[in-house]
Amino acid sequence: DAGVIQSPRHEVTEMGQEVTLRCKPISGHDYLFWYRQTMMRGLELLIYFNNNVPIDDSGMPEDRFSAKMPNASFSTLKIQPSEPRDSAVYFCASSLGGESAFFGQGTRLTVV
C-alpha cells in the first residue's frame, strides 16, 4: 500500500476562494482523521470518520469548513470562503480500529 495520500501538497490561494483538500486513506482502514497544524495551536483534530460516518466535528472552526467521506477510499476537506488565518498544514490520517494512525504528508495551505 502507498500509505495515506493527500493532495495537493501545497496550495496557495487568495482570500475568499474555495479550497478543497483531498485524502485517500489506507485500504481497509475504518477510521479517518483530519488535523490542522500551526505553530500557535499545535495539532488540532478537526473531524473524524468511522466507517465513512462523521463522528465528531466539534473541532471544525467555523461553518466555512466542511468535510465529506463519500466512500471508504476518499475524503475531502473544503474551506469556503478561505481566510488568511486558515493558513496551516492540514493532515489526513487513517487507522484500523482506532489504533495506530498513519499520516499523509500533509497539505500546506497559504491564503493570501
Partner 1 sequence: SQQGEEDPQALSIQEGENATMNCSYKTSINNLQWYRQNSGRGLVHLILIRSNEREKHSGRLRVTLDTSKKSSSLLITASRAADTASYFCATSFVQGAQKLVFGQGTRLTINP
Judged by the rule CB under 8 A, the positions of this chain that interact with partner 1 are 4, 31, 33, 35, 42-43, 45, 48, 50, 55-56, 91, 93, 95, 97-106
Nearer to partner 1, 17 or 51 (CB): 51
Output the smallest distance, CB 52 to partner 1, in A. 12
Output the smallest distance, CB 30 to partner 1, in A. 9
Output the smallest distance, CB 108 to partner 1, in A. 8
Nearer to partner 1, 35 or 65 (CB): 35
CB contact set of 60 (below 8 Å; sequence gap of 6+):
46, 47, 66, 67
* Sign of the Cα pseudo-torsion (96, 74, 107, 81, in order): negative
Q: How many CB atoms lie within 10 A of CB 62?
A: 8
Q: What is the DSSP letter of 26?
A: P
